[in-house]
A and B are shown apart, each in its own frame.
Chain A
Amino acid sequence: MIYTKPVVLVQGTEKMAECHPNSKPSGRPCKPPKPSGR
């Protein structure tokens, strides 16, 4: 592997979602994702 200085390419600051897809669905919807699915 050719050596290159390690860098951060991209970073995100998106705030934590109020609705999580990890809750039991009481009917409170999941956070709609953006197209990448992240």
Chain B
Amino acid sequence: MFFKQRSIVLFRNYESFGYITDNRNFGYKQSDDDKNIIGDKILSESGAVFFSALSIKPQDIDSLAREINEKFMAADIDTIINDALEFYENLEQDGFVISGETIEECESKDTGFLRKYLKKEIISREYSSSVIFPEKSTQEFFEEYFKGKPQLTNLHIEITSKCNERCIHCYIPHENKVSGIEPDLFYDILRQCKDMRLLHLTLSGGEPLLHQSFCDFLRKCREYNFSVNVLSNLTLLDDEIIKEMRANPLLGVQTSLYSMDSNIHDEITQVKGSCEKTKNAILKLIENDIPLQISCPIMKQNKDCYNEVKNWAEKYKIRVGDDYVIIAKYNHTTQNLSCRLSGNEIEEIINISIEEDKKYLEQMEMEAAQKKEITPDDFVCSVCHSSICIADNGNVYPCAGWQDYSVGDIRKTSLEEIWNNSERIQYLRDLRRKDFPKCVQCLDKEFCTMCMVRNANEDPLGNPLVVNEFFCNIAKINRIMILEWKEKLINS
């Protein structure tokens, strides 16, 4: 019997326990079918040894048992084989391990990420393996183990600020799009991430494909078993990049397509011919089974045609993230907001969504109900709790959009030191919802998602505590729409 680790699984060995997950929380959702969600698990100390013996290449049970036996010299090899068979088979039922009578069978069962979703392979949402502490969540386990100390799991690296497009809504001031990260600095950051047991990396720009070491960077991420998302306009996609992307089962791509009408898309990017290039590159990624999500921010320029992007993408089962939220540039100039929809226009967009998707309001109501559970002592967002951003010049920021608030410099201080001891990080980490008294008391709070960068960028002084009224209005619109819908339901 042969066993292998499923290629979309991330494993981190903490010595006294092991952690396994897939890139569920990091990769892009391929469809609205939730049945493929695997989850995560904490393995016992010996479980971590058993799992770490596995690799992406299939190995027979006898060799695996011999490797495990080296760690447990006093244990009987037959006991190890029996326990390994039981342990691996349990993990296989939940999609973490793959078995086969032959190496070929084992490898053929490890289907790629996108194909898996297209085939709608069913993995039970209910776990099948037995668990020692069923009442505890993995989150609670980590909280107890690290005594509440935040763990960095997601890092956004802006590998270059240079860009070959000039999108009108971009939050990066165009005059700042000038430099790329030194490769040695990038590799040093990656080594530090490995030591910190980081799970996920986002590589963006500017346009990341402009960096001459882009393929080498991706290779290194694969070697370190990081889940990676690449945010790119794809206009520079070539065969070498596709080959490397294909080789990494933990990689996903996000690209922006604003309209199927090239005049409108190109008006937004301010680069003639960019629409055709991005569309063709999307088709190439589809052809190569590389996981992909399209982003389609809705602005004044594309509000009448963004739906065509959704319809086109649907044919290829590609998910489109459409969103009418645009933030100001991080230097607090607000010219880019001239393309942002007005309150009335957003109301129209929501009305269209309701007409097209009968469950839209139900979904909104459900989300609002979940937000009722949020307390004033809860965090505002993930920045400085599990995620952070490093720009190409080594400056560390709370998130990619928030680059006038440096929390450290990776060229002078280690990532771990910045994460644990930066005073600015500590300040942001200590902020709670109650620090936004207006929001805590707001009637519309269940229809709003608080975001400090959209406050900070639009405030001339960059204060994240100054609530951005534009989004207050959007929350109000949403609440009123729900109220009217419920009233109609009652009357009918």
State the A residues within 8 Å of B (CB).
1-38
Say if the beta carbon of B272 comes within 8 Å of chain A: no
Q: In the complex, what residues of B have CB within 8 A of residue A3's CB?
A: 46, 72, 74-75, 79-80
Say if the beta carbon of B491 comes within 8 Å of chain A: no
Can you add 8 more A-B contacts, CB < 8 Å, to A18-B29, A37-B152?
A: A6-B49, A11-B41, A27-B326, A30-B381, A32-B381, A33-B379, A33-B385, A37-B151
A and B contact pairs by CB, cutoff 8 A, 20 listed: A1-B72, A6-B84, A7-B130, A8-B91, A9-B43, A9-B131, A10-B136, A10-B137, A10-B140, A11-B39, A11-B40, A11-B41, A19-B449, A23-B295, A26-B325, A27-B453, A28-B321, A29-B449, A29-B451, A29-B454
Q: In the complex, what residues of B have CB within 8 A of residue A2's CB?
A: 72, 74
Let me know if B399 and A22 touch, CB within 8 A: no
Let me know if B295 and A24 touch, CB within 8 A: yes
Let me know if B130 and A8 touch, CB within 8 A: yes
Partner of A7 from B24, B132, B169 at Cβ < 8 Å: B132
Q: In the complex, what residues of A have CB within 8 A of residue B171's CB?
A: 25
Q: How far is the CA of A23 from the CA of B136 in the complex (A)?
A: 30
B338 to chain A, nearest CB (A): 15
Let me know if A11 and B42 touch, CB within 8 A: yes
Let me know if B326 and A1 touch, CB within 8 A: no
B110-118, B141-149, B184-192, B212-220: which one contacts chain A?
B141-149
State the B residues within 8 Å of A (CB).
17, 24-26, 28-29, 34, 37, 39-47, 49-51, 71-72, 74-75, 79-80, 83-84, 87, 90-91, 94, 125-127, 129-133, 136-143, 146, 148, 150-154, 156, 169, 171, 200, 202, 204, 229, 231, 254, 295, 297, 321, 323, 325-327, 374, 378-383, 385-387, 399-402, 449-451, 453-454, 471
Known contacts A5-B83, A6-B50, A25-B171; A13 and B399 CB within 8 A of each other: no
Q: How far is the CA of A27 from the CA of B44 in the complex (A)?
A: 40
Q: In the complex, what residues of B have CB within 8 A of residue A16's CB?
A: 24-25, 29, 34, 37
* Closest residue on chain B to residue A25 by CB atoms: B401
Q: In the complex, what residues of B have CB within 8 A of residue A29's CB?
A: 381, 449-451, 454
Partner of A21 from B37, B146, B150, B382 at Cβ < 8 Å: B382
A32 to chain B, nearest CB (A): 5
Let me know if B129 and A8 touch, CB within 8 A: yes
Let me know if B138 and A31 touch, CB within 8 A: no
Let me know if A10 and B39 touch, CB within 8 A: no
Let me know if A31 and B382 touch, CB within 8 A: yes
Q: In the complex, what residues of A have CB within 8 A of residue B136's CB?
A: 10
* Closest residue on chain A to residue B448 by CB atoms: A29
Let me know if A32 and B380 touch, CB within 8 A: yes
Q: How far is the CA of A1 from the CA of B490 in the complex (A)?
A: 66
Q: In the complex, what residues of B have CB within 8 A of residue A32's CB?
A: 374, 378-382
* Closest residue on chain A to residue B149 by CB atoms: A37
Q: In the complex, what residues of A have CB within 8 A of residue B138's CB?
A: 10-12, 38
A20 to chain B, nearest CB (A): 7
Q: In the complex, what residues of B have CB within 8 A of residue A20's CB?
A: 25-26, 28
Let me know if B137 and A12 touch, CB within 8 A: yes
Partner of A12 from B39, B83, B146 at Cβ < 8 Å: B39
Let me know if A28 and B387 touch, CB within 8 A: no
Let me know if B37 and A15 touch, CB within 8 A: yes
Let me know if B327 and A11 touch, CB within 8 A: no
Let me know if B83 and A6 touch, CB within 8 A: yes
Let me know if A21 and B229 touch, CB within 8 A: no
A16 to chain B, nearest CB (A): 5
Q: How far is the CA of A32 from the CA of B325 in the complex (A)?
A: 18
* Closest residue on chain A to residue B135 by CB atoms: A10
Q: How far is the CA of A27 from the CA of B153 in the complex (A)?
A: 21
Let me know if B381 and A8 touch, CB within 8 A: no
Q: In the complex, what residues of B have CB within 8 A of residue A5's CB?
A: 46, 83
Let me know if B44 and A25 touch, CB within 8 A: no
Q: How far is the CA of A13 from the CA of B138 in the complex (A)?
A: 9
Q: How far is the CA of A15 from the CA of B271 in the complex (A)?
A: 39
B154 to chain A, nearest CB (A): 5
A25 to chain B, nearest CB (A): 3
B90 to chain A, nearest CB (A): 7
Q: In the complex, what residues of A have CB within 8 A of residue B325's CB?
A: 26-28
Interface pairs A-B: 7 shortest CB-CB: A25-B401, A36-B143, A27-B325, A29-B451, A3-B75, A6-B47, A37-B150
Q: In the complex, what residues of B have CB within 8 A of residue A34's CB?
A: 139, 143
* Closest residue on chain A to residue B384 by CB atoms: A37
Known contacts A16-B25, A26-B323; A9 and B37 CB within 8 A of each other: no
Let me know if B383 and A30 touch, CB within 8 A: yes
Partner of A9 from B39, B44, B386 at Cβ < 8 Å: B44
